[in-house]
Structure 1
Amino acid sequence: MTNSIKTAIIACSTLLVLSACTQRVSNSEQRQQASNPASEYCIEQGGTTQMFEEAGKQVGYCNLPDGRMVDQWELYYREVGGQGES
C-alpha cells in the first residue's frame, strides 16, 4: 500500500471513531435538556433540585431560597396548575 492510501484509511477511521464519540455526547446533552417541567420551575424560582429514593421510586424535591424543601411536582401543580404540560 502506498503512503497516501494508508493516510486516507487512518484519516477515515479516525473520523469514524470521533463521530461516534460526538454522538454519545449529543445524546447525553439532549437528556439533560429534556428535564421535567417541575424541575425547571423549581430552578426558575431560585431553588435547587435534589433527588431521593422513596419506596423504590425516584422523587424530586425543590430546595427553595426560603429554606423550604417541597416535592417538585406538588410545588409545580400548586403554583402553576400544570399549565404547559403536554
Structure 2
Amino acid sequence: MKKTYIFASLAAVAVLAGCSSEPDEYEVKEYTSIANPASVYCVQQGGELDTVTENELRVTYCAFSEEDRTEQWEYFRNAQEQKKVQQ
C-alpha cells in the first residue's frame, strides 16, 4: 500500500513537471516597418529630408531650398491644420 502511494506521488510529480516547462524561444523572421508620416509628407511635397545634430539631439528638417527649411513635424502639423481650416 505504501509503495502504491509513493508510485502515485512520483507519477503526479512527473506529470506536473512536464506541464510546467517554459515555451521555446521563437525567431522573428520578418519586421514590419512603419514610415514616419512627417517624412513621407515632406517627400511627397517635393522636399528633401535633412537630418542634423543640434544640442546632441537628432533633428530632421524638410528642406525645399537652402533658405527654406522647416522641422519636419512642424511642417506636417502646419499642413494638417491648414487642411482642417479649409474644410
Q: Residues of 2 paired with 1:35 and 1:49: CA distance?
A: 13
Q: Structure 1 unaligned segments of length 5 or more: list them.
A: 1-22
Residue number in structure 2 paired with 1:41: 41
Q: Residues of 2 paired with 1:51 and 1:80: CA distance?
A: 22
SS at match of 2:35: coil
Give the Å deviation of 1:45.
Answer: 0.3
Root-mean-square deviation (CA), in Å?
A: 2.2
* Structure 2 residue 53 is the aligned partner of structure 1 residue 57: no
Indicate the structure with greater helix content.
1
SS at match of 1:51: strand
Give the Å deviation of 1:35.
Answer: 2.3
Structure 1 residue runs of 4+, over 4 Å off? Answer: none
Q: How many correspondences in the alignment? A: 54
Larger Rg: 2
Among all aligned residue pairs of Structure 1 and Structure 2, give the percentage whose two residues are the same amino acid: 31
The TM-score normalised by the length of structure 1 is 0.51
The TM-score normalised by the length of structure 2 is 0.51
Q: Residues of 2 paired with 1:49 and 1:78: CA distance?
A: 17
Q: Structure 2 unaligned segments of length 5 or more: list them.
A: 1-28
